[in-house]
Amino acid sequence: MSRKAPAENEVLTPEELSEVLAEATGTTAEEIERGAAELEIAPPEEGTVVGYGECVGGLDPLSDPEST
């Protein structure tokens, strides 16, 4: 199944996203969905917000270098 790249404002269903990812990676949609289920991704409202520096162990590039 060959698809064109989705437009920037096009919303894909989870199933459509799995198909696009499967085609791009040479795997199956079922393997993509199995892998996603194993990741146990929390919904955004349950996520923890951390600063850039906390994520990568460095300084936040948006912060004032004089303040550190």
The per-residue pLDDT for 59 is 57
pLDDT tens figures, 18-51: 999 999 999 999 999 999 888 877 777 888 777 6
Q: What is the CB-side half-sphere exposure of residue 23 using CA atoms within 13 A?
A: 10
- State residue 36's pLDDT score: 84
For residue 59, give both structure tokens.
Answer: 């300084």
Contact 53, 68 (CB under 8 A): no
Q: What is the pTM of this model?
A: 0.47
Grouping H, G, I as helix, E, B as strand and the rest as coil, residue 26 is coil
Mean pLDDT of 47-61: 64
Q: In whole numbers, what is the pLDDT of the chain averaged over residues?
A: 76
